[in-house]
Amino acid sequence: MRPTPRAFRLLLDENLPRKVATELRARGFDADHATDVGLRSASDREVLGRAVSEGSVCITLDRDLHRILAQTAAAGPSVILLRNVRVTPHELAALIEAAVEQIGEQLANGVAATVMGKTIRVRRLPLRIEGA
């Protein structure tokens, strides 16, 4: 049985506006913002650890999360990195919704996804560091 996009639990990193989580919940997603679940000023590793323990997909603007996944050869959690986005929280929620709908089946298997505009690059976890 394929997971529906709204079946994914989303954990939004602190670098995203809290309103994005509110907007995603209004769209039917189970979405938490890091600051609302005790992760205010938490390290990237703590955020990733929380996403793993809750089975969440982590949404971030921070490239470091993909780097940590590569360095640790982690099989999860799935992380969606939003790059070069300067839009309103409403538009960010729409972008996240579209990405989750497009790559939902892959998210269930552990991926590092990068969203740039309408382009989504998806790499299966664990990541391999080039030259290693």
Q: How many residues does the chain have?
A: 132
Residues pairing with 55 in the sheet: none
Distance CA 60, CA 52 (A): 15
Q: How many domains does the chain have?
A: 1
Side-chain-side CA neighbours of residue 84 (13 Å): 7
Q: In angstroms, how far apart are the furthest CA atoms of the chain?
A: 44
Considering the domain boundaries, does residue 74 fall inside one? yes
Which domain does 45 fall in, by range?
5-124
User: Across the strands, what pairs with 30?
Assistant: 9
- Decide if 16 is inside a domain: yes
Please state the pTM of the whole predicted model: 0.93
Residues 21-65: tens digit of each pLDDT: 999 999 999 999 999 999 999 999 999 999 999 999 999 999 999
Q: What is the pLDDT of residue 6?
A: 80
Under 8 Å between Cβ of 104 and 71: no
